[in-house]
Amino acid sequence: MAITATISVPLTSPTRRSLASLNNLFPHSPRSTLPIPRRTFKYPNSRLVASSMSTDAPVKTPSASFLNRLQTGFLHFAKFHGLGNDFILIDNRDSSEPRITAEKAVQLCDRNFGVGADGVIFVLPGINGTDYTMRIFNSDGSEPEMCGNGVRCFAKFVSQLESLEGSHSFTVHTGAGLIIPEVLEDGNVRVDMGEPVLKASDVPTKLPANKDSAVVKSELVVDGVIWHVTCVSMGNPHCVTFSREGCQNLLVDELKLAEIGPKFEHHEVFPARTNTEFVQVLSKSHLKMRVWERGAGATLACGTGACATVVAAVLEGHAGRICTVDLPGGPLQIDWREEDNHVYMTGSADLVYYGSLPL
């Protein structure tokens, strides 16, 4: 069965795009009011056809026939990434139910037979007085409470859908509660991630609390090795480790993440599974981290993981409350503020391309 995919690669700044161009990409959006012009993409006469039996070179097709296909049975999306943690973004503002199933999301996230992504994110109508609702399916089909890099991409996508310019913020309902992203003048996104949850039973973890109600630098045996872990929830569970038996400061580049990551994720002391952050302390304000994400595996970045890492670093005495966290995909700025106990994350979110796929 042939699959037709059309991709538009942005050659100009996304913030300079007109609302008209977005209407072309999301013609069924309830907030789109402009007519659909005859040309939709930068390269309107190109169509890429791929088959499970053979691979054809790009062929020419009249733009009119392509536009006819756009209007029936196609899923329109935008591909974004936050420091290499990449997502398929879908305008779902006309319904409170995602336009595709978790099973379909798994297919789309496949990097060989689909679009390729760490997850699929939906922009749904707000509830409980919020402006929007965010839901996400991981690449394995599971649904996490929230995603830090994902919410930055969500914010930039909404800005384009609504043709917003300059600095602006809005409220987002997530499975982790209220999240408030703010798109800054420089194009980065600062997100109020709320208060970290430290109570062991709420993370959740079965490890016994050893500091008030929290698990801080507790011993955890994984595959016969004793690791020292601190457990934090940023609306989703995190297990953060800076050391193991015989190694007081991890060299994270030397870790075999694909081997050890799943053993943490599925450990019996984490009833909801867990994200795991392996952290190297560079200074009191500079940390280096690699992550194994629950439901997605090794990724280039994890926003909630960076937040949990700084909280854990403060609790263990490794760092101060304002840190740069280096991830494989780039840096995030994390600020755990004493005045309100909220964690603020600042980083980039970039458009990769727009596309359409048959449903």
Residues with active-site annotation = 147, 302
What φ, ψ does residue 71 adopt, rounded to 5°?
A: -85, -10
Q: Crossing angle for the helix pair 148-161 and 303-316, nearest 10 degrees?
A: 140
